[in-house]
Structure 1
Amino acid sequence: MSSLPEIILIMFLLSSIVLVSSSRLVHCIQLVALQGVLLGIMPLIFWDWQSSAPHGELVFLAIVNIAVKGVALPMLLILAMRRAQVRRELEPLVGYALSQLIAMLIIAGCFAGYRHLIGAAATNSALLAIPVAAATMLIGLFVIIARRKAITQVIGFLVFENGIAVFASGLMVHHGAIVELGILLDVFALVFIMGIAVFKISREFQHIDADRLNTLRDRRDPESPATPAGYTGE
């Protein structure tokens, strides 16, 4: 039973590795939903059940985490994906095999830094959340940078925020639930707005390719001259 926190953290890292190597958006969304469920049960797993039962605030936060990150946000992303008529990330900036290698290197680097700073003798499961959280945040940032589709970048943002939540779950089990709940509500509102924006962009431009959207310029009236009449530059 003592190894259960480590199993949860390993599952979290494996889901991040599989996510960066998947081109199917529905699989990426399902993995984000899995991370949301793991985040929901993580504070309960880290709790010292031998001393006392978890307080109601912690149980409430776990339920809200599962409901929002494990159910509501994935459903919102699937709805945005279907309305945008996008199924795959076909042309990422970084290939999937290389992305998987980079994710593994990120995880290895985070654990190496953890061993250097904390020491190999540290066996507290809650402290293991530090390298897992750092690796998850960096992988989320990598997904945002390495993918073209706006909806995939939203998924990367969620992975990044999940890393912050892992850190909070591991080190702030006894307090900080209200802060975590506030962050959770902010993330829900932001992803809700992002989902609406993705749908609107797809309807107007027939694509959600972030690179192509970066080339947009202000529309100029072809009948208006480039410079005002009579302008001499003085």
Structure 2
Amino acid sequence: MFSLQNKKAIVTGAGSGIGKAIAVLLAKQGAEVHVLEISEEHAAGTLKEIAQNNYTAFAHVCDVSNQQAVIDTFNKIGFINILVNNAGIAHIGKADTTPEDDFDRVMRVNVKGVYNCLYAAIPQLRAAGGGVIINMASIAALVGIPDRFAYSTAKGAVKAMTMSVAKDYISENIRCNSISPARVHTPFVDGFLQKTYPDRIDEMFEKLSKTQPIGRMAEPEEVAGLALYLCSDEAAFITGVDYPIDGGFTTLNN
């Protein structure tokens, strides 16, 4: 089950965290994985991990907010069967504390970046006779999260784009779903704690972990497992769905 043999996949933002875990798992299951990253160093790190296990992967340095760069990269890769739109950035702030430049930056990466990849990928998926798109949304698209105004706005747009694409391309055998994680233990979380709470790292890690009713953060590999299922032929009947993976956050935090 869940074999991706003879499939070609693009995973954006695959240099660390969730994207890296997804890229590694898709390669393990037989896919030829193309890692898209703005950081050459991070892309190389993911590629090295995949290559150590004799799986097949290629790295491409690409800024997803630059449409021409995205088109050129996708055209270089050619037809694909899977796109995972994972690249994104975080932001902390309320509506009246978010500077315009920060708002625009989040929209460029988290919204326009997803659009750019959809724009470039759909012709390649069509050339392959169909395929799968996974967009990384967030529980911030589903419920109110304190101090996440721009991020929540962007992830709400990603969820809406998912539904639109699923509707528009269902007749072309292109499935599109989204995943909405709660807090995941990634290098971003560790960096945030180190920067913001350098003297209270353990305390704040525990506090953030317990905001999920299940009592801990997710691991990137757990999100990757859900992505693998949605990319596989076993999920062939699923499109136009957002999947919270949140330790009960959206339903049990009452």
Q: Normalization by structure 1: what TM-score? A: 0.26
Higher relative contact order (CA closer than 8 Å, sequence separation 6+):
1
Kindly name which structure, 1 or 2, has the bigger radius of gyration based on alpha carbons. 1
